[in-house]
Amino acid sequence: MQTGQVVLRIGFYTLAAWGLMWSLLAVGDMSPRGGRGGQAPRHAEAQSASVRVDGFRFGHREGGGIRFVMELSQAVPWRVFAIGSPYRVVIDLPIVEWDSGGLIDGLGFVANARYGRFSQDRSRIVLDLSQAALPEATFTLPRDGGGRRLVVDLAPVAESAFPEKLETLFESEEGFAKTKRRADAPPLPLLRPALGARGKWVVVIDAGHGGVDVGAISATKKYEKNLVLSYAKDLRNALNATGEFDAVLTRNDDRFIPLRERISIAEALGGDIFLSLHADANPSRKVRGASVYTLSEKASDKEATALAARENRSDILAGIDLTEHTGLVSQILIDLSQRDAINASQDYANLLVTDLRESKVRTLQRAKRSAGFAVLKSPNMPSVLVEIGHISNADEEKYLNSKEGRKEVINVLVSSLRQFFRARTEE
Ligand SMILES: [Zn+2]
């Protein structure tokens, strides 16, 4: 559907079109779900939220500007800010009720809009801009039949006029920071299982992406973030069932976690190994196969560099200001303390690739690669990133979603981890 054709006028057809788009974007689980009466399908977890989003849309303004409109079931506090490199405009709201977060096409200089949960108490919309542009005004209007309409009017500006650092441009009258957390906000996941699990190897499983960052998009328009979360949960259960492991997750629901925080979580949990699970997409739909990555200053090849850049974009997509911690994306400097961790990472990656090759899981021809992945930077534990396959390939997407495919991938991961830790115990 071309968002550009949606006119800036509230009418039944506009809303119906949005309803259709929302139902197409329903990705809460792998089974197809229909929209309810043209309304946004709800993610089960967000069902207790009281503020509903009935749709977004873009329209052209006179003089080359773009208007972004969001339909809300009631008034909420909001904040609009801009961040550069690359140019983004971000709209923050308290937790609102929508599907599990996603991506829609933009209009004009707005390349697209990402939306989803950003943190425990915040929902976020990130407008990715193809050129420097800023909101000239942000305001709300009453809607026919109740609720509020949030309007952001954007106009192109000179590159020099774009703020260098994160800057709040507009805020609702009641202020945004002062808003209280919803009392019924879901609690943080219980990351650590019951104590007394000592003597077991702690495997920290990191489901890539989440919330406002959907990750790669599959052949059937499903999101990487959901697939890898379900794999992470299955892997955790399979590992814990062996009695040898104490497997824990960095996220166990659809939330965004900055890359650096994933490492902090793994370290706080005392991980013996960190496994980041991903699924890739390739512009060439023919490409398929799993691959395994470790951290290196100098990338093994061009493809690995490009992949690392894609995965490192997670924080950018979520609207994080990288000027506060430069170096996360641009340069990965490895210090001496990381050498041991890197050697161990290589050992595990080699083992895993060998096991994958011996299994029915397809791998890329060169399945073991390395590059500057920000999420693999822990000096305290071996860290490996696994792309379980290419969801842009229709057959592979089907395979990864099938019972057999899932079982095969999980089995290989479990057996390779067993071998890895047994070898270390014998040393
Ligand atoms: Zn990924």
Counting residues of the chain whose pLDDT is more than 90, the rounded percentage is: 46
Q: What is the CATH number of the domain that holds 10?
A: 2.60.40.3500
pLDDT band at 29 (very low <50, low <70, confident <90, very high): very low
In a domain, 55, yes or no: yes
> Rounded to an integer, what distance in angstroms lies between the CA atom of residue 268 and that of residue 366?
34
Look up residue 145 and give its two tokens: 């039949």
208 CA from centroid of ligand 1 (Å): 5
* Paired sense of beta strands 122-129 and 110-119, if any: antiparallel
Last residue of a domain, one of 151, 171, 191: 171
- Predicted local confidence at residue 117, as pLDDT: 82
- Predicted local confidence at residue 151, as pLDDT: 93
Identity of the amino acid at 396: E
The DSSP-derived string for 287-303 is ---EEEEEE-SS-SSHH
Q: Output the CA–CA distances (angstroms, integers) from residue 65 to 26, 58, 69, 321, 332, in the order listed.
A: 30, 10, 13, 25, 38
Place of tokens 């052949």: 219
209 CA from centroid of ligand 1 (Å): 6
158 CA from centroid of ligand 1 (Å): 33
210 CA from centroid of ligand 1 (Å): 10
- Which domain range does residue 112 map to? 3-171
279 CA from centroid of ligand 1 (Å): 6
Least confident of 103-117, 144-158, 331-345: 331-345
The DSSP call for residue 135 is E
342 CA from centroid of ligand 1 (Å): 21
- Predicted local confidence at residue 293, as pLDDT: 97
pLDDT band at 23 (very low <50, low <70, confident <90, very high): very low
How many domains does the chain fold into? 2
Q: In terms of domains, do 264 and 394 share one?
A: yes
Least confident of 100-109, 277-286, 413-422: 100-109
In a domain, 285, yes or no: yes
40 CA from centroid of ligand 1 (Å): 26
> Rounded to an integer, what distance in angstroms lies between the CA atom of residue 213 and that of residue 220?
18
Q: In terms of domains, do 127 and 219 share one?
A: no
Q: How far is CA 269 from the centre of its chain?
A: 22
> Rounded to an integer, what distance in angstroms lies between the CA atom of residue 79 and that of residue 115?
15
Smallest CA-to-CA distance from 417 within 266, 264, 235 is with 235
SS3 category, 16: helix
Identity of the amino acid at 21: M
In a domain, 182, yes or no: no
Element (H, E) at 383: strand 383-390
Do residues 35 and 20 make contact, with C-beta atoms less than 8 angstroms apart?
Answer: yes
370 CA from centroid of ligand 1 (Å): 15
Q: In terms of domains, do 230 and 137 share one?
A: no
- Predicted local confidence at residue 319, as pLDDT: 80
pLDDT band at 193 (very low <50, low <70, confident <90, very high): very low
Q: In terms of domains, do 153 and 268 share one?
A: no
285 CA from centroid of ligand 1 (Å): 17
Asked whether residue 81 carries a pLDDT value surpassing 80, the answer given is yes
The DSSP call for residue 198 is T
For residue 364, what are the β-bridge partners? none
Q: In terms of domains, do 235 and 152 share one?
A: no
Do residues 386 and 207 make contact, with C-beta atoms less than 8 angstroms apart?
Answer: no
Q: In terms of domains, do 274 and 418 share one?
A: yes
Q: In terms of domains, do 254 and 118 share one?
A: no
> Rounded to an integer, what distance in angstroms lies between the CA atom of residue 233 and that of residue 253?
10
- Predicted local confidence at residue 104, as pLDDT: 83
Integer-rounded Cα Rg, in Å, for the chain is 22
400 CA from centroid of ligand 1 (Å): 15
SS3 category, 200: coil
In a domain, 181, yes or no: no
Least confident of 22-26, 152-156, 187-191: 22-26
In a domain, 76, yes or no: yes
Q: What is the CATH number of the domain that holds 402?
A: 3.40.630.40
- Predicted local confidence at residue 235, as pLDDT: 98
In a domain, 387, yes or no: yes
Measure the CA angle with vertex 58, ends 9 and 124; round to 5°. 125
- Predicted local confidence at residue 85, as pLDDT: 79
Do residues 319 and 311 make contact, with C-beta atoms less than 8 angstroms apart?
Answer: no
- Predicted local confidence at residue 100, as pLDDT: 64
Q: In terms of domains, do 167 and 256 share one?
A: no
224 CA from centroid of ligand 1 (Å): 7
Higher confidence at residue 94 or residue 276?
A: 276
Mean pLDDT: which of 148-152, 185-189, 314-318, 322-326 is highest?
Answer: 148-152
258 CA from centroid of ligand 1 (Å): 13
Q: In terms of domains, do 260 and 352 share one?
A: yes
> Rounded to an integer, what distance in angstroms lies between the CA atom of residue 342 and that of residue 389?
23
Higher confidence at residue 272 or residue 26?
A: 272
pLDDT band at 13 (very low <50, low <70, confident <90, very high): very low
In a domain, 277, yes or no: yes
179 CA from centroid of ligand 1 (Å): 33
Look up residue 194 and give its two tokens: 């019951």
Asked whether residue 230 carries a pLDDT value surpassing 90, the answer given is yes
Average pLDDT, the chain: 80
pLDDT band at 280 (very low <50, low <70, confident <90, very high): very high
Higher confidence at residue 197 or residue 175?
A: 175
223 CA from centroid of ligand 1 (Å): 10
Q: In terms of domains, do 140 and 215 share one?
A: no
Last residue of a domain, one of 171, 190, 221: 171
Residue 407 CB partners (closer than 8 Å, separation 6+): none
Do residues 390 and 281 make contact, with C-beta atoms less than 8 angstroms apart?
Answer: yes
> Rounded to an integer, what distance in angstroms lies between the CA atom of residue 164 and that of residue 134?
13
What's the burial of 331, exposed, middle or buried (CB within 10 Å: 0-12/13-18/19+)? Answer: exposed
- Predicted local confidence at residue 200, as pLDDT: 86
> Rounded to an integer, what distance in angstroms lies between the CA atom of residue 78 and that of residue 162?
21
How many CA atoms lie within 13 Å of 175's alpha carbon, on the beta-carbon side?
A: 4
- Predicted local confidence at residue 270, as pLDDT: 84
Q: In terms of domains, do 144 and 266 share one?
A: no
The residue-averaged pLDDT of 109-131 equals: 88
- Predicted local confidence at residue 47, as pLDDT: 37
Higher confidence at residue 98 or residue 377?
A: 377
For residues 115-147, one letter each, b for 16 or more C-beta atoms within 10 angstroms of the residue's C-beta and e for the rest, the string is bbbbbeebbbbbbbbeebbbbeebebeeeeeeb
Q: In terms of domains, do 25 and 128 share one?
A: yes
Asked whether residue 99 carries a pLDDT value surpassing 70, the answer given is no
- Predicted local confidence at residue 312, as pLDDT: 86
Identity of the amino acid at 81: F
Query: Is the preceding peptide bond at 86 cis, omega within 30 degrees of 0?
Result: yes
Counting residues of the chain whose pLDDT is more than 70, the rounded percentage is: 78
Summarize pLDDT for 301-315 with one digit per residue, the tens. 999 989 988 888 888
pTM: 0.69
Look up residue 397 and give its two tokens: 């997407």
393 CA from centroid of ligand 1 (Å): 15
278 CA from centroid of ligand 1 (Å): 4
What's the burial of 173, exposed, middle or buried (CB within 10 Å: 0-12/13-18/19+)? Answer: exposed
In a domain, 186, yes or no: no
